[in-house]
């Protein structure tokens, strides 16, 4: 068994299959979960789900047989399901927690495990610390197991269909009837992930039509990176650009993130989606309350918060911070730059299916095309442009490079970037620098991939590009990057 310590990133543990994501390590994490839940009443089950990645169902069975050997009842989902569907099953079945076999939006060579506490959101930092501690103990002492068929026969593992309960929840929080009646034509790109079929099924039975793309299972994701960003959505963009469709919805590998395309095939970036959701909740639904966003998300939420009397709080990256805070303050919206959004009345967790359908609901209620609604929101918040650049490194050198970057920027923080004076900074999660008019640039090392990400939001795209280029040059000087990313 590998004794390299297993650590959790922004949402769970991830690794390359057959390298560090192995059966032995999956058993260790599963034993860690069992130990963490040892004080829970013995009748409370654990939900186990999986996405469409290579052998994901076999890894899910491995999780189930470890939990069953530790006398913990298991509700094993009967097929690939979005992470939030597994999370809703945790809440619906009053389970002690949930484990989902997924690497979310990571490239196909990765897999991973996400742990969901009994409230169905991401595990907070305190829970993560306990899971890492118990997993380290299991790496040292071994995991308890029993044969999967024996666990089934003994009733310790029960196969369950999570879709009816999730559908009922979505019906409660969205006006699906109005969307069905409207007669929208929606393109849904499942990106070969576990969200396949969900949009079509939820909207079936009315005038609205859903064209599904990449709905079959393909563990290689058709050679694409299963992250719902414009460079990965060529076919969906082309379909919408041809005319005749109103909305494009794309989901990542485990469907907890969303990408949105307007009626002309223009990619609506993640910060714009956050602003649209906020406008819909505040203006059209009339909601009021706190808004919680990651430090990589948009200042447009701050402007809208001021307009509607909703306080906005900026947190480190990850729903392990956003989700618990949503619960604490009863936030109406949780938003992160990566396309993950949660809303009040649902899970304190990202849900890419609900987020996409919320955009459809917004269009129905506004009675206008998406591009017009976005234009109106920009009239309210003023000019905002955004981009992100991903700089990839070799995996075996990544940890040392991450430390080098942190030490460099901590010891010699920049006083100006692209000729603009730095007026404020934040360094608790990456390095974020603001200039005089509130525009910002951020460099941050990924917790789930060997990537350095550079983000910026400013008044126009040329300025964004200048800030990103200057920050990338400053941060990566002398570091052996192997590839660039999207902008």
Question: Model pTM?
Answer: 0.94
Contact 189, 265 (CB under 8 A): no
- Between CA 422 and CA 413 the distance in angstroms is 10
Binned at pLDDT 50, 70 and 90, residue 1 comes out as: very low
Length of the chain: 487
| pLDDT for res 487 | 44
Answer whether 263's CB lies under 8 Å from 238's CB: no
- Residue 192 CA to residue 108 CA, distance in Å, equals 11
In this structure, are residues 17 and 111 in contact, taking their beta carbons and an 8 Å threshold? yes
- What's the N-to-C CA distance of the chain in angstroms? 40
Is the domain spanning 385-484 CATH 3.30.310.50? The answer is yes
CA torsion, ordered 291, 296, 301, 306, to nearest 10 deg: 80
Distance between CA atoms of 320 and 59, rounded to whole angstroms? Answer: 23
In which band, very low, low, confident or very high, does the pLDDT at 485 lie, cut at 50, 70 and 90?
very low
Q: Please give the average per-residue pLDDT across 55-78, as a whole number.
A: 98
Q: Determine if residue 68 is left, alpha or beta; phi over 0 gives left, psi from -120 to 50 gives alpha, anything else beta.
A: alpha
Average pLDDT in the chain: 94
Q: DSSP states of 417-472 as a string?
A: ETTEE--EEE-SSSEEEE-TTS-EEEEEE-SSSSEEEEEEEESSHHHHHHHHHHHH
Pairwise CA distance, residues 378 & 373, whole Å:
9
Half-sphere exposure for 211 (CA within 13 Å, toward CB): 14
Given a cut of 70, is residue 88 above it in pLDDT? Answer: yes
Distance (Å, rounded) from C-alpha 342 to C-alpha 349? 5
Average pLDDT over residues 72-92: 98
**Would you list the domain boundaries of the chain?**
13-162, 174-381, 385-484
Structural tokens at position 430: 């990456």
Q: What is the pLDDT of residues 367-424, one digit of tens each?
A: 999 999 999 999 999 999 999 999 888 777 777 777 888 888 888 899 999 999 999 9
- The fold of 13-162 is Alpha-D-Glucose-1,6-Bisphosphate; Chain A, domain 3 (3.40.120)
Same topology for domains 13-162 and 174-381, yes or no? yes
Kindly state the tokens that stand for 49.
């789900």
CA dist list (Å): 5 to 27, 131, 139: 14, 12, 8
DSSP conformational letter for 281 = I
Question: What's the pLDDT tens digit per position in 116-130?
Answer: 999 999 998 899 999
Return the percentage of the chain with pLDDT > 90, whole number.
Answer: 87
Can you give the three-state secondary structure of 31-99, one letter per residue? HHHHHHCCCCCCCCCEEEEECCCCCHHHHHHHHHHHHHHCCCCEEEECCCCCHHHHHHHHHHCCCCEEE
- How large is the angle between the packed helices 163-173 and 83-92, nearest 10 degrees? 90
Local structure of 136: helix, strand or coil: helix
pLDDT at residue number 295: 96
Class of domain 174-381: alpha beta
Average pLDDT in the 142-156 region? 98
């Amino acid at each position: 068994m590998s004794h390299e310590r297993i650590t959790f990133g922004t949402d769970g543990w991830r690794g390359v299959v057959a390298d560090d994501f192995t059966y032995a390590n999956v058993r260790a994490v599963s034993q860690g979960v069992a130990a963490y839940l040892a004080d829970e009443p013995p009748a409370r089950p654990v939900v186990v789900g999986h996405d469409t990645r290579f052998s994901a169902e076999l890894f899910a069975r491995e999780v189930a047989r470890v939990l069953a050997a530790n006398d913990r009842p298991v509700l094993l989902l009967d097929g690939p399901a979005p992470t939030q569907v597994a999370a809703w099953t945790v809440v619906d079945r009053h389970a002690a927690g949930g484990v989902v076999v997924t690497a979310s939006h990571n490239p196909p060579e990765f897999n991973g495990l996400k742990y969901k506490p009994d409230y169905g959101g991401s595990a907070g930092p305190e829970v993560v610390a306990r899971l890492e501690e118990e997993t380290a103990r299991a790496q040292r002492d071994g995991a308890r197991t029993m044969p999967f068929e024996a666990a089934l026969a003994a009733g310790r593992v029960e196969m369950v269909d999570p879709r009816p309960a999730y559908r009922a929840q979505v019906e409660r929080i969205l006006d699906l009837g109005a969307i069905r009646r409207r007669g929208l034509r929606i393109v849904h790109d499942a990106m070969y992930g576990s969200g396949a079929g969900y949009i079509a099924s939820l909207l079936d039975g009315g005038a609205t039509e859903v064209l599904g793309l990449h709905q079959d299972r393909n563990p290689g994701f058709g050679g694409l990176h299963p992250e719902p960003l414009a460079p990965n959505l060529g076919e969906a963009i082309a379909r919408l650009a041809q005319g005749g469709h109103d909305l494009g919805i794309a989901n990542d590998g485990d469907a907890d993130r969303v990408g949105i395309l307007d009626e002309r095939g223009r990619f609506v970036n993640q910060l714009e989606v956050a602003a649209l959701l906020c406008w819909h909740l505040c203006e059209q639904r009339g909601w009021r309350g706190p808004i919680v966003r990651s430090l990589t998300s948009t200042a447009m939420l701050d402007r809208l918060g001021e307009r509607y009397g909703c306080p906005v709080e900026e947190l480190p990256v990850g729903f392990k911070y956003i989700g618990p805070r949503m619960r604490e303050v009863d936030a109406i919206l949780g938003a992160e730059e990566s396309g993950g959004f949660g809303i009040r009345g649902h899970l304190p967790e990202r849900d890419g299916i609900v987020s996409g359908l919320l955009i459809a609901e917004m269009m129905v209620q506004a009675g206008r095309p998406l591009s017009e609604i976005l234009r109106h929101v920009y009239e309210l918040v003023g000019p905002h442009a955004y981009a992100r650049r991903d700089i990839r490194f070799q995996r075996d050198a990544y940890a040392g490079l991450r430390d080098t970057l942190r030490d460099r920027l901590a010891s010699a923080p920049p006083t100006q970037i692209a000729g603009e004076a730095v007026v404020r900074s934040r360094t608790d999660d990456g390095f974020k620098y603001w200039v005089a008019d509130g525009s910002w640039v951020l460099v941050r090392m990924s917790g789930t991939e060997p990537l350095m990400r550079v983000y910026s939001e400013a008044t126009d795209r040329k300025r964004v590009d200048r800030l990103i280029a200057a920050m990338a040059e400053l941060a990566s000087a002398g570091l052996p990057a192997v590839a660039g990313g999207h902008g």
